[in-house]
Amino acid sequence: MHGLKLDEARIEGVRARPLSVPLLEPFVISSGSVEATRAVEVEAHVSWRGQRAIGLGEAACLPPVTGEDQDDVLRALSGPLADRQFLGPVARAGLETAALDAMARIAGVPLRALLGEAATCTLETDVTVAIAEPSKMADLARTWAARGFRALKVKVGKDLDTDVLALEAIGRAAPGARLRVDANAAYSAGGAIALARACERLRLDVECWEQPCAAGDLDGMARVTAELRTPVVADESVKTLEDLDAVVVRRAADGVNLKLGKAGGPLACLALGRAAREAGLLVMMGGMVETRLGMTAAAHVACALGGVDFVDLDTALLLADDPYVGGYVADGARYALPPDAPGLDVRRRP
């Protein structure tokens, strides 16, 4: 249903509540750290096609990246319905996800079918190793590899020498793992290339380099992309279709990371993903430290695209508690979405 429009439905009420779940380990990236999710659960009461349903969505904030924080989203979603056309991307993503969940429940189909793809879908995700001491990062890598994770997303960007030590230690600890190295915009072009060359000398299996340079440094991104054989994936540089066009014109990346909170919801993510594919770019589906609720919504978008090149939907695995049930069945790194369950099929844990 590529022509699906959210304004076909009537949102009759919205409830928003904080969704703060502690992480097992601090989630440290180059630009900051979090110790618990800073999200908002959005409950939308929707009327569509003469029926009513309630849907759930997650508005996930990662303050070092999103700009919006939990309090901002709670304030925005507590305002009058008429004001909600002016929501920021994170708040809009939570509300849109909840409304689409309700619409899919009314239609009696999985969300991915409402968005355009009805097939059964299984995804294999990576898992993130956040910035820590190299020995700690190696221990985490070893543990995840033993649990069957074949791809590790490794956060870097604090210090070049320490990053090299950490990647070398991870390579020894999990020698069969593919590495997806994410600097979260921390490096200059020269620094990113130096890190890549060090990994080549160590013969590490690096599958992609994610956002090596600052979001607005498309010249730097283009230089890294031109220098490296391994694909460069733009994350912070691409939030809108206009951003994507700029990256394509400047040849600033080989791929793009889609995120619900960054783009403003599933429909914008789908548009970005389809445009990226048309431009010949690789596609990653990622998140902003979400629970099972947000990860399920992102998984449905990935499946609606017919699958993606890189799946980075792991953050529910990093939490100390899971406040939801349903959505997907996890078997190590593999997520299977139920073939016929309507909407997201996510429920609050009793």
- What confidence tens digit (pLDDT) does each residue in 248-300 have? 999 999 999 999 999 999 999 999 999 999 999 999 999 999 999 999 999 99
Residue ranges of domains in the chain: 6-108, 121-348
Q: Determine the pLDDT at residue 66.
A: 84
- Is residue 327 predicted with pLDDT exceeding 70? yes
Q: Which of 1-10, 71-80, 125-134 has the lowest mean pLDDT?
A: 1-10
Q: Determine the pLDDT at residue 65.
A: 80
Q: Determine the pLDDT at residue 2.
A: 46
- Say if pTM beats, i.e. exceeds, 0.75: yes
Q: Beta strand 32-36 with 22-29: parallel, antiparallel or unpaired?
A: antiparallel
Choose between 118 and 20: higher pLDDT: 20
Output b/e per residue, 58-81; b: 16+ Cβ within 10 A: bbbbbbebbebebebbeebbeeee
Q: Determine the pLDDT at residue 1.
A: 47
- What confidence tens digit (pLDDT) does each residue in 25-55 have? 999 999 889 999 999 999 999 999 999 999 9
Q: Determine the pLDDT at residue 83.
A: 61
CATH architecture of 121-348: Alpha-Beta Barrel (3.20)
Angstrom distance (rounded) from CA 92 to CA 61: 12
The fold of 6-108 is Enolase-like; domain 1 (3.30.390)
For the chain, give the percent of residues with pLDDT over 70. Answer: 97
Angstrom distance (rounded) from CA 66 to CA 21: 18
CA dihedral 221, 222, 227, 230 (to 10 degrees): 70
- What confidence tens digit (pLDDT) does each residue in 135-176 have? 999 999 999 999 999 999 999 998 999 999 999 999 999 999
- Is residue 124 predicted with pLDDT exceeding 50? yes
The angle at the Cα of 272, spanning 264 to 11, to the nearest 5 degrees, equals 35
The angle at the Cα of 93, spanning 20 to 90, to the nearest 5 degrees, equals 60
Q: Determine the pLDDT at residue 86.
A: 80
- What confidence tens digit (pLDDT) does each residue in 200-225 have? 999 999 999 999 999 999 999 999 99
- Is residue 316 predicted with pLDDT exceeding 70? yes
Q: Which residue has the tokens 């010249």?
A: 219
- Is residue 118 predicted with pLDDT exceeding 70? no
Angstrom distance (rounded) from CA 332 to CA 197: 32
- What confidence tens digit (pLDDT) does each residue in 72-93 have? 999 999 877 656 668 999 999 9
Q: Which residue has the tokens 């449905």?
A: 300
Q: Determine the pLDDT at residue 63.
A: 78
